[in-house]
């Protein structure tokens, strides 16, 4: 029986994780759940899954959470804030931590899981994008296990040989082929993109996801963040990663070998497959996902990515080549710009502009510790907010 902590339980990945885990009550025990502000939803999950701990990240809502748990005579222990999240990620009775908080807020609790030597099921790509080497060092030092949940990275992991950590070239790998659907605006005229609304951007053709990652998919910043994530997870660099646009989202990514073989992982666009894979690895469990019907799909297509249409791809690649705190600056500026867009304050095409200007205005530096990363994350947020203010005043 493995004890499971789900950071971000009320979100899209969190709910899918609970769905898969609850199909196997003999294998997984839900020990702890967290949310940011959805107290009622968190309490509903507590009633259904009976964890030992519930954490509400927004400290102002702890009293409300305690009151609601009291009203139902629940014995669930309520905690709050970053400390509460770090506590549940490090509990001795927790074996697996699903890192499914969105954005930079997930960094510290995910690092706490690494420092406690847990199996980390990593959905929160922003944490790895920001802290790269520091995060990977903590995983290694503390014998933690890092299993990717992002469907692309999970697919790559499934297509790699067992000892790929000796080096991709040494393992006979010539390229990682990172697929992406191209999002909802792959074929839309660029002139029509300026007036895109948040709801249009969040209507992904194949995947149902949280709003932030949906916008990232529409700008293709998501693919950019995934390039950075792949560099850290698989110890490689952008020269060895080719983004392949594959509109059907049936192939979740591929690995090309020196003998000409290309291994691919295929499946439905349903996150329960990578979640089940990472929960049960190296075994396999039932996930509730519908079987793939190749005859119904009939056709698979591939295209080169369009870097003009999607400047965020270029910005992400440039930032990982630059290294140090540059990816953290890129990520922070993007989080601020996306939040502003979702709030109807910034235009869709200005997301890339804000990220690019923030990277231009703020010099990055080497990241020796978390301090440099968190300081530059904060400076980038302030800079991006200032740039957005100026941009809004221009119109």
Query: Would you say 173 or 229 has its CB closer to ligand NDP?
Result: 229
Q: List the one residue out of 98, 99, 118 whose CA is nearest residue 108.
A: 99
Q: How far is the CB of 179 from ligand NDP (least distance, A)?
A: 13
Q: How far is the CB of 104 from ligand NDP (least distance, A)?
A: 8
Q: How far is the CB of 64 from ligand NDP (least distance, A)?
A: 12
Q: Where along the sequence are the contacts to ligand NDP (CB under 6 A)?
A: 8-14, 35-38, 57, 100-102, 105, 123-126, 150, 207, 209-210, 212-213, 271
Query: Would you say 80 or 357 has its CB closer to ligand NDP?
Result: 80
State which residue has the least CB distance to ligand NDP.
11
Query: Would you say 104 or 173 has its CB closer to ligand NDP?
Result: 104
Query: Would you say 121 or 245 has its CB closer to ligand NDP?
Result: 121
The CA angle 323-377-53, to the nearest 5 degrees, is: 115
Query: Would you say 173 or 332 has its CB closer to ligand NDP?
Result: 332
Query: How is the beta sheet containing 145-148 ordered, strand by strand?
Result: 77-80, 53-56, 28-35, 2-7, 96-99, 119-122, 145-148
Q: List the one residue out of 209, 181, 214, 221 whose CA is nearest residue 197.
A: 214
Give one DSSP letter per residue of 49-108, joined into a string.
H--SEEEESSGGGHHHHHHHHHHTT--PEEEEHHHHHHHHHH-TT--EEEE---SGGGHH
Going through the chain in order, the beta strands assigned E by DSSP cover 2-7, 28-35, 53-56, 77-80, 96-99, 119-122, 145-148, 173-180, 241-245, 251-257, 262-266
Query: Would you say 102 or 173 has its CB closer to ligand NDP?
Result: 102
Q: How far is the CB of 151 from ligand NDP (least distance, A)?
A: 6
Q: How far is the CB of 33 from ligand NDP (least distance, A)?
A: 9
Q: How far is the CB of 174 from ligand NDP (least distance, A)?
A: 26
């Amino acid at each position: 029986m493995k004890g499971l902590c789900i950071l971000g339980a009320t979100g899209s990945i969190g709910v899918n994780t609970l769905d898969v885990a609850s199909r196997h009550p003999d294998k997984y025990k839900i020990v702890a759940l967290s949310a940011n502000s959805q107290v009622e939803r968190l309490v509903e999950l507590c009633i259904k899954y009976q964890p030992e701990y519930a954490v509400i990240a927004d400290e102002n809502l702890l009293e409300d959470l305690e009151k609601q748990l009291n009203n139902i005579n629940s014995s669930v222990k309520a905690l709050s804030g970053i400390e509460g999240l770090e506590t549940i990620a490090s509990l001795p009775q927790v074996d697996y931590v699903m890192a499914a908080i969105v954005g930079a807020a997930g960094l510290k609790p995910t690092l706490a899981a690494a420092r406690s030597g847990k199996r980390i099921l990593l959905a929160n790509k922003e944490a790895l994008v920001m802290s790269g080497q520091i995060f990977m060092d903590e995983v290694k030092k503390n014998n933690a296990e890092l299993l990717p949940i992002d469907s692309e990275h999970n697919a790559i992991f499934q297509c790699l040989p067992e000892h790929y950590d000796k080096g991709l070239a040494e393992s006979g790998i010539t390229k990682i082929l990172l697929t992406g659907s191209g999002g909802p605006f792959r074929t839309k005229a660029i002139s029509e993109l300026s007036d895109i609304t948040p709801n249009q951007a969040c209507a992904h053709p194949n995947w149902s996801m949280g709003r932030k990652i949906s916008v990232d998919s529409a700008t293709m910043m998501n693919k950019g963040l995934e390039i950075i994530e792949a560099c850290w997870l698989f110890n490689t660099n952008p020269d060895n990663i080719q983004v392949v646009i594959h509109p059907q989202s049936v192939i979740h990514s591929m690995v090309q070998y020196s003998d000409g073989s290309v291994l691919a992982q295929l499946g439905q666009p349903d996150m329960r497959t990578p979640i089940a894979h990472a929960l049960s690895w190296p075994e396999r469990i039932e996930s509730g996902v519908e079987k793939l019907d190749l005859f119904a799909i009939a056709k698979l297509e591939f295209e080169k990515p369009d870097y003009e249409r999607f400047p965020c791809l270029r910005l992400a690649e440039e930032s990982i080549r630059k290294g140090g705190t540059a990816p953290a600056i890129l990520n922070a500026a993007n989080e601020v710009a996306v939040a502003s867009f979702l709030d109807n304050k910034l235009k869709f095409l200005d997301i890339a502009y804000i990220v690019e200007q923030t990277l231009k205005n703020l010099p990055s530096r080497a990241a020796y510790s978390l301090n440099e990363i968190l300081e530059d994350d904060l400076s980038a947020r302030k800079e991006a907010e200032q740039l957005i203010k100026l941009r809004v005043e221009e119109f």
